[in-house]
Structure 1
Amino acid sequence: MGNRLSKIYTRTGDDGTTGLGDGSRVAKDSARVEAYGTVDEANSTIGLLLAVALPDDIHALLTSIQHQLFDLGGELCIPGHAAITDADIERLETQLDHYNESLPPLKDFILPGGGEAAARCHVARTVVRRAERGTVALSRQEAVRPQAIRYLNRLSDLLFVLARVLARHDGQGEVLWRHERR
C-alpha cells in the first residue's frame, strides 16, 4: 500500500520541482510529469463520463480502465516500473472488437457529439490521444515501455467506438461531418 497523506501541502514543490515515485526530483514541466499528468487528466475525463447514465457493461469497463490508467500513471511516475501488460492491451482489443462489431462501417467522418455521454466520451478520447503524444515525446528522451504507448493508442480507439455506441444508445445518433455544406 502506498503512503498515506496526512498533510496535503508540503511546500517542496514551491521551487518548480516535484518528486517522482522513486524519490528523485524533476522539473514540474518535464516530459515525464507532462506524460503522467495527462494520463491523470484522461482518467478524470473518464470519471466525468462515468457521472452520467451509462449501460452497465460500459460503466464497468470504464471503471476498470480508470484503475489501469492509475497504474499507467504510476508506471510513468516511477522510472523503470512496469504496470501495464500485453494482456491489458489484448483486453482493450477484445472490447474494441466486441463493441465495434454491431456498428455500421464508417463512410464519413463524425463530429464529436451525439448526446451528453457520447460527447463526454469524445472529450476523454482526445485527452487520451494527448496523453499518448506526451508519452511518445517522453520516450524520445527517456526509456518508456512500449506497452504504455500501445495501451493509450488502443484506449483512444476504444473510446471512439464507445462514443459511437453511446450516441446510438442515447437515441441521438452520430453527427456526420458534411464536407459539402456550402
Structure 2
Amino acid sequence: MPIYTKTGDDGTTAIFTKKDGRSIRISKSDSLIEAIGAVDGANSYFGIITSEIKQKTENKSLAKNIEEIQRDLFTVGAILAGANLELKKLRTEELEKEMDRMEKELPKITGFILPGGSEVSAHLMYARTLVRRAERRIVALTLNSYPLIHNSIIRYINRLSDYLFVLARWMNHQSKIKELKWKTK
C-alpha cells in the first residue's frame, strides 16, 4: 500500500473528533495542524539529537531518555489530533527529578547563557527553541478555538523545554566546556 492517499491534495487533512472518534477533514492551515506540526518538527529534531548522542558519547541512558521524549511527543501529537490517549503526569515528574539531579552538579546561573558548547549541547539548545515554539502553538489553541486541551500537555511541554536547557548545560559541564555568558558591548 503506498504512503500517499491523495486525500490531502485539496489542502485538508484528517483528525479525529473527541466526541465519537470519527475523522473529520480540516484545512492544513488550521491552528491545530500548526500545533501538531510544531510538535512533529521538534520530535524529528530529537532524532538528530539521539543520533548525535549515540555517535559522540557513551551515554546510552541519555539516548534512551531522548527516545522516551520522542514517544511522549508522538503521544502529544496524537492527543492534539483527537486520539483518546493520556499523557501521564509521571512523565513531567520524571523530567523534574532528572533536572534536580543534574542541577546539583551545575554551577549557579549568574546571567544569560549563549547556546553552544559541545555539538550535542548546541543541538539540545536548538531543540529547546523548537519545543518552545510548539508550546506557543498549543497555548494559542487553548486561547482560541480549542479550549479542551488538557493542562497536562502544556505542563509537560513547558517542563521539557526547561529540561533541555538544563541538559544542554549538564552536557557541557560533563565535557568540561565552559558556558559562554551573554554580555553587552
| Shorter-chain TM-score above 0.5 | yes
TM-score by length of 2: 0.89
Structure 2 residue identity aligned to 1:111: L
CA contact (8 A) 2:125 2:164 kept: yes
Match of 2:33 in 1: 33
Residue in 2 that maps onto 1:94: 97
- What is the rounded CA distance, in whole Å, between the counterparts of 1:24 and 1:174 in structure 2? 49
List per-residue Cα deviations over 1:5-49 (Å, max 9, x = no partner): x21111111111101144111110111111111111111111111
Post-superposition, which runs of at least 4 consecutive aligned residues in structure 1 deviate over 6 A?
A: none
Amino acid at match of 1:61: N
- Given the two structures, how large is their TM-score scaled by the length of structure 1? 0.90
Task: Mark the runs of 5 or more structure 2 residues left unpaired by the alignment.
Answer: 17-21
Q: In the alignment, does 2:175 pair up with 1:170?
A: yes
How far 1:169 moved relative to its partner? Answer: 2.5
Shift of 1:64: 1.0
Q: 1:56 is matched by which residue type in structure 2?
A: K
Hey, what does 1:121 align to over in structure 2? Answer: 124
Residue deviations 1:134-162 (CA, integer Å, cap 9, x gap):
00011112110101100000000000000
Do 2:106 and 2:170's aligned partners in 1 also have CA atoms closer than 8 Å? Answer: yes
Aligned 1:1-182 pairs, distance under 5 A: 6-21=1-16, 22-52=22-52, 53-54=56-57, 55-78=59-82, 81-140=84-143, 141-142=145-146, 143-179=148-184, 181=185
Task: After TM superposition, give the deviation of residue 91 of structure 1 in Å.
Answer: 1.3
CA distance in 1, matches of 2:78, 2:130: 18
Q: Secondary structure at the match of 1:51?
A: helix
Aligned length: 174
Contact persistence 1:82–1:145 (CA under 8 A):
no
Partner of 2:19: none
Q: Which has the higher helix share?
A: 2
- Where 1:176 maps in the other structure, the secondary structure is coil
Q: In the alignment, residue 41 of structure 2 is paired with which amino acid?
A: E
Contact persistence 1:74–1:83 (CA under 8 A): no
CA shift at 1:168, angstroms?
Answer: 2.1
* SS at structure 2 position matched to 1:20: strand
* CA–CA distance in structure 2, aligned partners of residues 173 and 84 of structure 1: 36
Identity rate, percent: 40
Distance 2:177 2:88 in 1: 36
